[in-house]
Amino acid sequence: MSLAAYPRIADWITAQDGLLLVRTGKVDIGQRISTALIQIAHEELGVPFNRIDIATVRTDKAPDEGMTSGSNSIEQSGKAVQCAAATLRATLRKRLASKYGGAPEEWALADGAIFLPGTNHRFPVIELIENLGKDDLVDPAALPVARPYQSPPRPRMRGIAEMVRGGHAFIHDLDVPGMWHARVVRPPHVHARLNGVPETARARLAAKGLHLIEDGSFLAVVGPNEWPVVDQAQKLAIACDWDVGKGLPETDVFTLLNASKSARFHAPKAAPTKGPIPEPLVLPDHTARYERTYQLHGSLGPSAAMAQWSDGVLTLKSHSQGIYPLRESIADSLGLALEKVIIEHMPGSGCYGHTGADDAAFEAALVAMAHPDRPILLKWSREDEHMWEPFAPAMAVELAAKTSGRSITAFSAEVFSDTHRGRPRPGPKRAGPGKLLANRFRETPIGPTPAAPNMGVHAGMHRNLDPVYAIENKRLVKNLVPDLPHRTSAMRCLGAAVNIFAIESFMDTIARKSGADPIAFRLSHLDDDRARNVLLTLQDQLSHWPDLTEATGRGVAFAQYKNAMTRVAVAIELTVNDMAEIQLHRAAIVADAGRIVDAEGLTAQLEGGLVQAASWALHEEVKWDRDGIQTRDWDSYPVIRFDNIPKVSVTLQDQPDEKSLGAGEASPGPTLGAIGNAVFDAVGLRLTRLPFTAASIRQAAYH
Q: Which tens digits make up the pLDDT trace of 297-312?
A: 999 899 999 999 999 9
Measure the CA–CA gap between 592 and 566, rounded to whole angstroms.
Answer: 6
Residue in 506, 517, 497 with CA at minimum distance from that of residue 617: 497
Do residues 230 and 186 share a domain? yes
Domain end marker among 410, 445, 480: 480
SS3 state of residue 577: coil
Measure the CA–CA gap between 313 and 432, rounded to whole angstroms.
Answer: 20
Burial class (CB in 10 A: 0-12, 13-18, 19+), 462: buried
pLDDT value at residue 30: 79
Answer whether 620's CB lies under 8 Å from 637's CB.
yes
pLDDT value at residue 271: 61
Do residues 476 and 439 share a domain? yes
Measure the CA–CA gap between 273 and 276, rounded to whole angstroms.
Answer: 9
SS3 state of residue 639: coil
Do residues 544 and 579 share a domain? yes
pLDDT value at residue 54: 94
pLDDT value at residue 157: 59
Q: Is the pTM of this model over 0.85?
A: yes
Residue 492 included in any domain = no
Measure the CA–CA gap between 121 and 611, rounded to whole angstroms.
Answer: 52
Do residues 215 and 349 share a domain? yes
Residue 494 included in any domain = no
Do residues 584 and 671 share a domain? yes
What residue spans of 294-378 are helical by DSSP H?
323-334, 357-370
pLDDT digits (tens, 9 = 90+) for 348-378: 977 789 999 999 999 999 999 999 999 999 9
Measure the CA–CA gap between 296 and 631, rounded to whole angstroms.
Answer: 10
Measure the CA–CA gap between 24 and 12, rounded to whole angstroms.
Answer: 7
Measure the CA–CA gap between 230 and 183, rounded to whole angstroms.
Answer: 6
pLDDT digits (tens, 9 = 90+) for 257-267: 999 989 999 99
- 519 C-beta neighbours (distance < 10 Å), count: 18
List the CATH number of the domain containing 615. Answer: 3.30.365.10
Cα dihedral angle (248, 250, 255, 259), rounded to 10 degrees? Answer: -30
Confidence of residue 380 (pLDDT cuts 50, 70, 90): very high
Residue 499 included in any domain = no
Helices 599-618 and 668-683 pack at an angle, to 10 degrees, of 50
Q: Point out the least confidently predicted range of 81-95, 287-301, 423-437, 477-491.
A: 423-437
Residue 620 included in any domain = yes
Residue 630 included in any domain = yes
pLDDT value at residue 74: 85
Please, which residues have CB within 8 angstroms of residue 694's CB and are 6 or more apart in sequence?
A: 579, 580, 581, 582
CB-hemisphere CA count at 13 Å for 361? 38
DSSP classification of residue 136: P
Task: Report residue 291: phi and psi, to 5°.
Answer: -140, 155
> For residue 539, what is the enclosing H or E element?
helix 529-542
DSSP classification of residue 361: H
Q: What is the arithmetic mean of pLDDT over 597-605?
A: 91
pLDDT value at residue 272: 61
Residue 488 included in any domain = no
Q: What is the arithmetic mean of pLDDT over 227-254?
A: 97
Answer whether 406's CB lies under 8 Å from 516's CB.
yes
Measure the CA–CA gap between 147 and 505, rounded to whole angstroms.
Answer: 40
Q: What is the arithmetic mean of pLDDT over 184-201?
A: 97
pLDDT digits (tens, 9 = 90+) for 649-681: 999 999 999 999 999 999 999 999 999 999 999
Measure the CA–CA gap between 34 and 73, rounded to whole angstroms.
Answer: 10
Do residues 232 and 258 share a domain? no
Count structural domains, the chain. 4
* pLDDT reading at 41 higher than 70: yes
CA-angle at 251, arms to 250 and 256, nearest 5°: 150
Residue in 593, 514, 512 with CA at minimum distance from that of residue 555: 512
Do residues 266 and 139 share a domain? no
Do residues 366 and 302 share a domain? yes
Q: What is the arithmetic mean of pLDDT over 241-263?
A: 95
- 530 C-beta neighbours (distance < 10 Å), count: 14
* pLDDT reading at 701 higher than 90: no
Answer whether 307's CB lies under 8 Å from 367's CB.
yes
pLDDT digits (tens, 9 = 90+) for 420-440: 999 998 777 788 999 999 999
pLDDT digits (tens, 9 = 90+) for 533-577: 999 999 999 999 999 988 899 999 999 999 999 999 999 999 999
Answer whether 691's CB lies under 8 Å from 620's CB.
yes
Answer whether 416's CB lies under 8 Å from 442's CB.
no
Which residues constitute the domain of residue 545?
A: 507-702
* pLDDT reading at 155 higher than 50: no
Answer whether 247's CB lies under 8 Å from 435's CB.
no
* pLDDT reading at 384 higher than 70: yes
pLDDT value at residue 156: 53
* pLDDT reading at 197 higher than 80: yes
Domain end marker among 388, 404, 425: 388
Q: What is the mean pLDDT of the chain?
A: 94
Measure the CA–CA gap between 687 and 698, rounded to whole angstroms.
Answer: 11
Answer whether 496's CB lies under 8 Å from 461's CB.
no
Domain end marker among 388, 413, 428: 388
pLDDT digits (tens, 9 = 90+) for 449-464: 888 888 889 999 999 9
* pLDDT reading at 163 higher than 80: no
Residue 486 included in any domain = no
Residue 304 included in any domain = yes
* pLDDT reading at 446 higher than 60: yes
Measure the CA–CA gap between 365 and 362, rounded to whole angstroms.
Answer: 5
Do residues 235 and 276 share a domain? no
Do residues 335 and 234 share a domain? yes
Please, which residues have CB within 8 angstroms of residue 199's CB and are 6 or more apart in sequence?
A: none
Do residues 261 and 241 share a domain? no
Do residues 271 and 335 share a domain? no
Task: Report residue 90: phi and psi, to 5°.
Answer: -65, -40
DSSP classification of residue 391: B
